[in-house]
Amino acid sequence: METLSLLADGFAVSLLPINILIVVIGVTVGLFIGAMPGLGSVNGVAIVLPLTFIVPPTSAIILLAAIYYGAMYGGAISSILLGIPGASTAVATTFDGRPMAQQGKAALALIAAAVGSFVGGTISVILFTLFAAPLAEVALAFGPAEEFALVLLAFTTFVGLGGDDILKTVVMICLGLALATVGLDMISGQPRLVFMDLPGFYAGISFLVLAIGVYGIGEVLWTIEQSKTAPTVTPAKVTWAEFSAGLRILRRCWKTMTSGSLIGFFVGMLPAAGATPAALMAYGIARSSSKSPETFGKGNVEGVLAPETANNAASTGSMLPMLTLGIPGSPTTALLLGGMVMWGLTPGPMLFIEQPDFIWGLISSLYTANFAAVIVNIALIPVFVWALRMPFTVLCAVVLVLCIVGGFAPNGKMHDVWLILGFGAAGYLLRKAEYPLAPLVLALVLGPLMEKSFRQTLIAEQGDVFAFFQRPLSGTFMVIALLLFLFPVFKRLRDARRKPSLAE
C-alpha cells in the first residue's frame, strides 16, 4: 500500500507537462537511434548524456531512461525491415521478423514487436515497482564490506556466465579498474598514474570519455567496416485492418509474452547477462514450448514477440540493481549511474530515503515512457521506413561530430577529446579481436566504489582480510563470487575428464 502511495507521488512528478514532453522526446530519439543499424541504447545514452546538463537531474534521468526504452523498441525496426539487428539486443528478432517481412507481413511484424515491447516493458515495470523498495531496504544494511563483495560479485558474473573468452574478460575488467584509479588516490590524496605528466589526468578518466570513445567513435568505425554492402529496405504500410488483425493475434500469445517478460526481467538484473541473452533465451523457450516449433525461423509471429518482450523487460530489470544497490545491470545502466554521480546523486538505497521524489518520479516515468513509446513507434512506422533509406554516411557524420562536441562539453578540455579518439580506435581494435567491452565500461564506473569499499573495510578492521567473510551478507556474496569465478575452471576439468573417455 505504501508503495502505491509513493508511486502516486511519483506520477505527480512524471505527469508534469515538461516531463511528459521529455518522455516523448526521449522515446522518439531512442526509437530513431535504436532503429539505425549498429546504434543501440548504450550508444544513444553515451552520445546524449553530455547534453543533459540543460535540465534538472530528475528530468535528465527521465530523458535518458526514455531513450533507453525507445532504443529497445526501435531495435526491432531494422531487424524486421533490413534484416540487420538495430542493436545487439534485437538479434533474435531478425530470426522471424525478417522472414515475416519477406512474406509481405512487415507491418504485422512491426506491430507485434511494438506491442510485445509494451507488454514486456509494462510487466517488468510492475515487477520493478514491487521489488524496488524491499530490495532497497535490505541494501540499507550494507556497509563497505558488503559493497565490495557485491561489486566483486558483479564482475565474477562476467567470468562465470559471460560466455566470452575468460582471459579476455579478465583483461578488460582489470583494464577498466586500473583506468579508474587514474587521478588522485582517494585515501592519501596523492596523484597516481598521471601519464606523461599531462595535467588532464589529475582529474581522472571520466566514464563518459570512455563510453563516448568506445560506443560512439568505436561503433562508427566498426559499422563503416561492416557497411560494405548496402542493405535493402522492405516497405511496410500499416493500415487499420492490419493493426486490429495484429492485436487479435497477440491475444493468443499471452503465454509467450508473459514468459518472455519474466525471463527478461530476471536475466536483465545480472550484470553479465542483460537484454541480448535474455532475448535469445526467450526465443528458445518460446520455440521449444510451442506446438509447432518447425514454423519458427520461417516467420512465426511468436518468434518476434518472445525476444521483444524479453529485451524490454531486461532493460527494466537492469535498472533495479542500479537504483537499489548502486550496481548497474548493463552497460547502459552503468552510464545512467555515472550520470547520476555527475549530477550529485549517489545511486543506492539512500536515494529511496533522501530523494523519494527523484526515485518515484523516475519509476513512474517508466510507465509513461512505455505508453509513449508504443504510440510513437506505431505512429511513426512510415517515417522509420523513410529514415532507414537515409545514406549511412550522413548518420555517421552527425554521430562523429556529436562525439567530439559532447566529449568536450562537460569539462571544456581538449584532453578529453583526444582520449575519446584514443579509446575509439582502441575499442574498435579490441572489439575486432573479440574482447568484451561491457566489463571494461562497468569496471571504470564501479572501480572507485570497489577500491573505496575495500580500503575502508580494511582500515576499519585494522587490515584483517577475513572481515569480508565474517559478516553474513558480505560473506555470502564473497562465496558466490568465488564459486562463479571457479565455475569455468570446474567446467574445463569436467570437459577434460570426459574427452579421453570419448576417445577410447
Partner 1 sequence: MLKSESLIALGLMGLSAYFMYYAVALPIGWVEGSGPGGGAFPFWLSFIMFLASAGILIKSLRTAAPSEPFFDPDMIGQVASVMAALVVAVALMPLLGTYIALPAFLIWYLKFYGRHGWVLTGSIVVGTLLVLFFFFEVTLRILMPKGITEPLFFPLYRIFF
User: Is residue 473 within the footprint of partner 1 (CB under 8 A)?
Assistant: no
* Number of chain residues interacting with partner 1 (CB under 8 A): 61
Longest CA–CA span in the chain (Å) reads 73
Q: How far apart are CA 174 and CA 176, in angstroms?
A: 5
Identify which of residues 100 and 211 has a Cβ nearer to partner 1 in the complex: 211
Among 285, 404, 473, 480, binds partner 1 (CB under 8 A): 404
Q: Could you give the angle at the alpha carbon of 346 between the alpha carbons of 341 and 347, nearest 5°?
A: 100
How many angstroms separate the first and last alpha carbons of the chain? 65
199 binds partner 1 (CB under 8 A): no
Return the residues of window 16-75 that contact partner 1 according to CB under 8 A. 51, 53-54
Q: Cα–chain-centroid distance for residue 94?
A: 20
Q: What is the rounded CA–CA span in Å between residue 323 and residue 350?
A: 10
Residue 429 interacts with partner 1 (CB under 8 A): yes or no = yes
Phi, psi of 437 (to 5 degrees): -95, -25
- Amino acid letter, 460: A
If binding is defined by CB under 8 A, does position 393 make contact with partner 1? yes
Q: Does 418 bind partner 1 (CB under 8 A)?
A: yes
As a whole number of angstroms, the distance between CA 116 and CA 111 comes to: 8
Shortest Cβ 258–partner 1 spacing (Å): 42
**Exactly one of 154, 451, 468, 471 binds partner 1 (CB under 8 A); which one?**
451
Does residue number 496 form part of the binding site for partner 1 (CB under 8 A)?
no
Tell me if 345 sits within 8 A of 57, measured CB to CB.
yes
Task: Give the contacts of 502 (CB within 8 A, at least 6 positions apart).
Answer: none
Query: How far is Cα 109 from Cα 23, in angstroms, rounded to an integer?
Result: 25
| Secondary structure string (H, E, C) spanning 307-366 | HHHHHHHHHHHCHHHHHHHCCCCCHHHHHHHHHHHHCCCCCCCHHHHHCHHHHHHHHHHH
Q: Interface with partner 1 includes 343 (CB under 8 A)?
A: no
Is residue 327 within 8 A of residue 151, CB to CB? The reply is yes
Report if residue 482 touches partner 1, rule: CB under 8 A.
Answer: no
Query: Contact at 8 Å (CB) between 129 and 457?
Result: no
> At its nearest, how many Å lie between partner 1 and the CB of residue 26?
17
User: Considering only residues 401, 479, 489, 493, which one is a binding residue for partner 1 as defined by CB under 8 A?
Assistant: 401
Cα–Cα distance for residue pair 269/320, rounded to 1 Å = 7
Residue 178 in contact with partner 1, rule: CB under 8 A: yes
Q: Is 229 in the site for partner 1 (CB under 8 A)?
A: no
Work out whether 198 is an interface residue with partner 1 (CB under 8 A): no
Q: Which of the stretches 23-31, 161-169, 271-279, 328-336 binds partner 1 when contact is defined by CB under 8 A?
A: 161-169
Smallest gap, in angstroms, from Cβ of residue 169 to partner 1?
9
Site for partner 1 contains 221 (CB under 8 A): yes
Sequence-distant (≥ 6) Cβ neighbours of residue 494 within 8 angstroms: none
Choice between 193 and 480, CB closer to partner 1: 193
- Quote the CA–CA distance of 223 and 364 in Å, as a whole number: 36
Cα(58)–Cα(362) distance, integer angstroms: 7
- SS3 of 191, please? strand
One residue of 61, 430, 440, 478 binding partner 1 per CB under 8 A: 430
Instruction: Report the residue from 161, 350, 357, 455 that binds partner 1 according to the rule CB under 8 A.
Output: 455
Residue 85, all three cell numbers: 539487428
400 binds partner 1 (CB under 8 A): yes
Tell me the three cell numbers of residue 61. Answer: 534521468
Q: Is 405 in the site for partner 1 (CB under 8 A)?
A: yes
CA distance 315 to 263: 12
Of the residues 432, 491, 492, 494, which one makes contact with partner 1 according to CB under 8 A: 432
Tell me: does residue 249 bind partner 1 (CB under 8 A): no
Nearer to partner 1, 414 or 483 (CB): 414
Residue 489 binds partner 1, judged by CB under 8 A: no
Instruction: Specify the residue, 192 or 237, whose C-beta has the smaller distance to partner 1.
Output: 192
Output the smallest distance, CB 53 to partner 1, in A.
Answer: 6
Least distance between partner 1 and beta carbon 178 (Å): 5
Residue 191, C-beta contacts closer than 8 angstroms, at least 6 positions apart: 183, 184, 185, 202
Nearest distance in Å: CB 397, partner 1: 5
Only one of the segments 112-120, 135-143, 177-185, 246-254 lies at the binding site for partner 1 (rule: CB under 8 A); that segment is: 177-185
Which residues are at the interface with partner 1 (CB under 8 A)? 51, 53-54, 165, 167-168, 170-171, 174-175, 177-178, 181-182, 185, 187-188, 190, 192-195, 217, 220-221, 224-225, 228, 391, 393-394, 396-398, 400-401, 404-405, 408-409, 412, 414, 417-418, 421, 424-425, 428-430, 432-433, 435, 451, 454-455, 457-459, 462-463
